[in-house]
Structure 1
């Protein structure tokens, strides 16, 4: 039986293209005001109140060692599943959902030392795009700190 093609959502951050497996993506929303989350790990930019659900917004710029920049009205927010929790990723722009033919996702980069948070890479005519694995985005310590900070925020609501 032939495996089904995988789909990825392409997005940009500081002019660089990245991708997420479409199975991790729940929805796309417009940029909105974020609420600070005290005691959260550095990788958490704040909270987004999405229809009454408080979701942590992960700071991809910090994680990928890119220069920080304030939230802009043109930013896109990706609501995604990162292992057991729903999170939001702030990106410069979402581009498209790309269907990958079987075998076009190279999983080799996931095994290279120093390449974290990566499930594989896709070679496109414009260059290589890393496909990120949100299940590994937060370390265990960051996940515990985030859970504690979220519990505190929910008690204060």
Structure 2
């Protein structure tokens, strides 16, 4: 038996994704955002979260998925990668589950239109559930993190 990973499960375009609980600070409802000029389209703006200016990106836009209207289920998952905190807009955040690291397989080249470099792997949960685990370091790759840090500064 491998290590147990605690993973927050969220939905994006009818697929289930997971991100390790260790990387997640909080999960918020949609908050008013301030648009920031000269940023990629998927950077929706910044929010003031308890006095901290936090950039927010729409994961649908980041992955080239069709945009969707925000609903009462839409959530902003505040994640921390290194020194930077970023909000990720997802369709809904569902639950926290334990994933056995032995059940994680390398991702195929493309899953639901998302390139493998953004994915850490695919976890088998139970008999029929597959969970796509994100590689946050790639989702927020260095050149984009530099841009986001400039927003904060």
TM-score, reference length from structure 2: 0.84
Change (3 A) 1:76 1:126: farther
Change (3 A) 1:141 1:132: same
Contact 2:46–2:53 (Cα < 8 Å) also in 1: yes
Measured after TM superposition, the shift of residue 118 of structure 1 is 1.2
SS at match of 2:18: strand
Unaligned runs of 5+ in 1: 152-157
Provide the rounded CA distance (Å) in 2 between the counterparts of 1:72 and 1:35: 19
Q: Deviations over 1:74-117 (max 9, x none)?
A: 311111112321111111111111112341222x228x584121
Provide the rounded CA distance (Å) in 2 between the counterparts of 1:30 and 1:47: 14
Residue pairs, 1:113-152, within 5 angstroms: 114-124=115-125, 125-151=127-153
SS at match of 2:144: helix
TM-score, reference length from structure 1: 0.82
Structure 2 partner of 1:154: none
Task: Indicate the RMSD between aligned Cα atoms, in angstroms.
Answer: 2.1
Change (3 A) 1:50 1:121: same
Q: How many residues are matched?
A: 148
**Is 20-29 or 114-123 further displaced after alignment?**
114-123
Please identify the structure whose Cα radius of gyration is greater. Answer: 1
Provide the rounded CA distance (Å) in 1 between the counterparts of 2:151 and 2:101: 41
Provide the rounded CA distance (Å) in 1 between the counterparts of 2:101 and 2:119: 18
Provide the rounded CA distance (Å) in 2 between the counterparts of 1:99 and 1:20: 11
Change (3 A) 1:52 1:97: same
Unaligned runs of 5+ in 2: none
Structure number with the higher strand fraction is 2
SS at match of 1:103: helix
